[in-house]
Structure 1
Amino acid sequence: MGKQFQTVMQMVAVISMALILGACGEDLGVDQHGRKVAVAGPEGQWLVINYWAQWCAPCRSEIPELNGLEQRFEDGSVRVLGVNFDGLQGEKLSQAVEEMGIRFTVLAQDPAARFGLPVTEVLPVTYLIDDQGRMRERLLGEQTAEALIARISALRKEG
């Protein structure tokens, strides 16, 4: 029994290290389905990172707008990523995403450190990340797809 336990623990350690080292590359961790989320996308891709929670009424209203935004940019030039404010993981995250009707990618890990995002204390909050990985804008409160498109367009023109 002890030898089997030790073997299993060694295998767990090796798998864990592989996952940790794999996460250090060009990815944002995993999504609500446990799939790896790559950073790399089409050249010029902007990210819209939205923090949401099930208990947040404006977040619930905003979800259809973000779904529409994701759908509008099927070419990948703008990608919508969600982050659950309460840090839900695994099956709880998947269930919350389904309940909220979210059709865009939801990250299991908070990408705040990677992009230098400030601590989020209000919801909803949306960050616009340019194609160089720089945070360009922090938008507080409920957003519409049209307003986000207009803001991204203006920021692109600014360079």
Structure 2
Amino acid sequence: MTRRLIGALAVITTLLLSGCGNDYGIDQYGQKVASERVDKQWLVINYWAEWCGPCRIEIPELNTLAEQLKGQPVSVFGVNFDNVQGEELKSASEKLGIKFTVLAQNPEAIFDIPRSEVLPVTYIIDDKGKVREQLLGEQTAAGVMARLKALRG
């Protein structure tokens, strides 16, 4: 009887833990960012700010990239450099015309992303959560796609 109970608890614990991914917080609209959208995916994470001129030029390229990557195991995410939150984050995202998901919570600790004082900066993170590339300055959809293809081999 005790063995059965221990076995049952082990199975329940395993099932519960297998459903637990990292907590990615919420997006610019206050919606939870599910771990299934992030874990085991390649990620393109772009840091931007409303006051950054090159960021404004780059955003349409990242919107195009996000659209081109739909259905693939690669996702584009944004992170506001100034850590604005709530309605201010939503407003800033809308002003810049961002169509991809903006994370309200900076994922730098989760992925060990080095802090950059240069904007815009984009990181390519592999499906194991390792930073593979740091791209400084304005990027194009074609340029990031080429880097992704090279890194994914």
- Specify the TM-score bucket, using the shorter chain as the normaliser: 0.7 to 0.9
Are the equivalent residues in 2 in contact too, given 1:70–1:104 (CA < 8 A)? yes
Q: How does 1:1-159 map to 2 (within 5 A)?
A: 25-41=21-37, 45-157=41-153
Call closer, same or farther: CA 1:76–1:42 in 2, change over 3 Å. Answer: farther
Are the equivalent residues in 1 in contact too, given 2:47–2:78 (CA < 8 A)? yes
Call closer, same or farther: CA 1:70–1:156 in 2, change over 3 Å. Answer: same
Are the equivalent residues in 1 in contact too, given 2:39–2:127 (CA < 8 A)? yes
What displacement does 1:119 show? 1.0
What displacement does 1:84 show? 0.3
Q: Which amino acid aligns with 1:122?
A: V
Q: Which amino acid aligns with 2:139?
A: Q
Are the equivalent residues in 2 in contact too, given 1:42–1:76 (CA < 8 A)? no
Call closer, same or farther: CA 1:116–1:44 in 2, change over 3 Å. Answer: closer
Q: Which amino acid aligns with 2:113?
A: L
Find runs of 4+ consecutive structure 1 residues off by over 4 angstroms: none
Question: How large is the RMSD of aligned CA atoms in angstroms?
Answer: 1.7
Call closer, same or farther: CA 1:104–1:136 in 2, change over 3 Å. Answer: same
Show structure 2 runs of 5+ residues with no match: 1-19
Q: Distance in 2 between matches of 1:44 and 1:69?
A: 19
Are the equivalent residues in 1 in contact too, given 2:21–2:39 (CA < 8 A)? no
Percent of aligned pairs with the same amino acid: 60
Q: Which amino acid aligns with 2:127?
A: D
TM-score by length of 1: 0.80
